[in-house]
Amino acid sequence: MANTGFISMAPAVAAVAAQITAMDAVVDAIRAVDVPALSAENVAIEVIVDLIRATDFPTTDALINGIDVLSAKQKSLLGVGVCPGFHEFFNTVANGANPDATFWNVIENTGTVVVESHHVDVPGYLLCTSGAVNNEDGIAHTKDKFVISFKNRVTSILLEAYCKMDWTASSNPCGIGLIENDSVVGAGIPDMRNAAENPAAIIVNGGVPTAYTSDGAVVQTTDLSAFITDDTWFLFEMEITAGSVTFTIDGTLRATHITRVTDTIFQIMMGSTCCDAANALTYCDKVEVWGE
């Protein structure tokens, strides 16, 4: 018996096929326009990227190479070396103020510690003045703040300072250098002549500028009076290694200590202490300490 309910699908299939053909034609037309345009845009983008690379890659390489050629001192002071450095140019506070308390502890036992900077565009300097009565101090030190040691692969500790000391009216001790971090600063600058305090410093003692170092038990000294003049600025450089401490004045090596070499965790210390009822002064225009 014939199936009278059957409806032929041929017309519908033919219609779908025709629609697909029409859609293919539309897609081909879109492709013919958009794909070349997109390719052109890609080429333009690649040209721009190449230009950026040509400019930025050499600049990046130069920056990397620039860091690579920095000295150990520069890296340390920038905080990218083996040991963070410390530098202070005493121009961060108002004229007549104490040095920045972020960096410095100040002892003013009737003495004074003050930054002198009379012109806005001129870096300041630190002035430490003892009193005029025995044991009166003017001292600045970095105890418990910025300390430095032979940790973290450091093999040399270096200090550089531009300073002067005025002992014209007295034989009071004044000085600058490094002292053991755990030291109790109770006797002022004379602490830096004490072997137990592990000093590495230049100290004017009885009117004689002297290089001091200690191994914790015995002090070694060198007379520097031929190279440091009363009330005259000089550049002081000191380097401590496992086997020696060197003292360089105005670019010339003037003392080398190899028998009493300091090995401790240091703080920076400078200033003056009264021991004979007269004033002594220590000036410092800058101080830098770093590790290599």
CATH label of the domain that carries residue 247: 2.60.120.200
| pLDDT at 259 (0 to 100) | 95
Rounded to whole angstroms, the Cα distance separating 173 from 272 reads 6
- Is the confidence at residue 77, as pLDDT, over 80? yes
Tokens 């031929």, located at residue: 226
Do residue 181 and residue 215 come from a single domain? yes
With respect to residue 2, please indicate whether it lies within any of the assigned structural domains: no
Rounded to whole angstroms, the Cα distance separating 267 from 253 reads 23
Tokens 């003056």, located at residue: 272
Do residue 179 and residue 80 come from a single domain? yes
Question: Angle CA(186)–CA(190)–CA(195) in degrees, nearest 5?
Answer: 95
More confident residue, 24 or 243: 243
Tokens 């870096």, located at residue: 123
- pTM score, two decimals? 0.76
More confident residue, 44 or 128: 128
At a CB cut-off of 8 Å and minimum separation 6, what does 38 contact? none
Q: What is the 3-state secondary structure (H, E, C) of 99-164?
A: CCCCCCEEEECCCEEEEECCCCCCCCEEEEECCCCCCCEEEEECCCCCCECCCCCCCCEEEEEEEE
Do residue 57 and residue 87 come from a single domain? no
Is-contact 200 175, C-beta < 8 A?
no
Element (H, E) at 191: none
User: What is the number of structural domains in the chain?
Assistant: 2
With respect to residue 3, please indicate whether it lies within any of the assigned structural domains: no
| pLDDT at 1 (0 to 100) | 52
97 class by beta-carbon count within 10 Å (0-12 exposed, 13-18 middle, 19+ buried): middle
Give me the half-sphere count of Cα atoms (radius 13 Å) on the Cβ side of residue 182. Answer: 7
Domain containing residue 188:
75-291
User: What is the tens place of the pLDDT at every residue in 184-194?
Assistant: 788 889 888 99
User: Across the chain, where does the E strand assignment appear?
Assistant: 86-88, 105-108, 112-116, 125-129, 137-141, 157-166, 174-180, 200-205, 208-214, 219-223, 234-240, 245-249, 252-257, 266-273, 281-291
| pLDDT at 65 (0 to 100) | 58
Do residue 45 and residue 117 come from a single domain? no
Element (H, E) at 181: none
More confident residue, 239 or 274: 239
With respect to residue 55, please indicate whether it lies within any of the assigned structural domains: yes
Do residue 99 and residue 32 come from a single domain? no
User: What is the tens place of the pLDDT at every residue in 229-240?
Assistant: 999 999 999 999
| pLDDT at 220 (0 to 100) | 97
With respect to residue 161, please indicate whether it lies within any of the assigned structural domains: yes
For the chain, counts of helices (H) and of strands (E)? 2, 15
Element (H, E) at 170: none
| pLDDT at 233 (0 to 100) | 95
Closest alpha carbon to 288 in 241, 235, 221: 235
Do residue 102 and residue 36 come from a single domain? no
Rounded to whole angstroms, the Cα distance separating 146 from 267 reads 7
With respect to residue 48, please indicate whether it lies within any of the assigned structural domains: yes
More confident residue, 12 or 161: 161
With respect to residue 29, please indicate whether it lies within any of the assigned structural domains: yes
Given 42, 69, 96, the domain boundary residue is: 69
At a CB cut-off of 8 Å and minimum separation 6, what does 130 contact? 111, 136, 137, 138, 172, 174, 188, 271, 272, 273, 274, 279, 280, 281
Do residue 48 and residue 85 come from a single domain? no
Do residue 64 and residue 84 come from a single domain? no
Do residue 257 and residue 124 come from a single domain? yes
pLDDT-derived band at 120, boundaries 50, 70, 90: low
- Is the confidence at residue 247, as pLDDT, over 70? yes
Do residue 23 and residue 154 come from a single domain? no
- Is the confidence at residue 273, as pLDDT, over 70? yes
- Is the confidence at residue 5, as pLDDT, over 60? no
Cβ neighbour number for residue 1 with a 10 Å cutoff: 3
Do residue 56 and residue 185 come from a single domain? no
Mean pLDDT across the chain, nearest whole number? 86
With respect to residue 1, please indicate whether it lies within any of the assigned structural domains: no
With respect to residue 215, please indicate whether it lies within any of the assigned structural domains: yes
Do residue 185 and residue 213 come from a single domain? yes
Please state the length of the chain.
292
pLDDT-derived band at 14, boundaries 50, 70, 90: confident
| pLDDT at 288 (0 to 100) | 96
User: What is the tens place of the pLDDT at every residue in 161-170?
Assistant: 999 999 887 7
First to last CA, the chain: 106
- The mean pLDDT value for 40-61 works out to 72
Given 19, 47, 69, the domain boundary residue is: 69
Given 39, 69, 99, the domain boundary residue is: 69
Tokens 């005259």, located at residue: 232
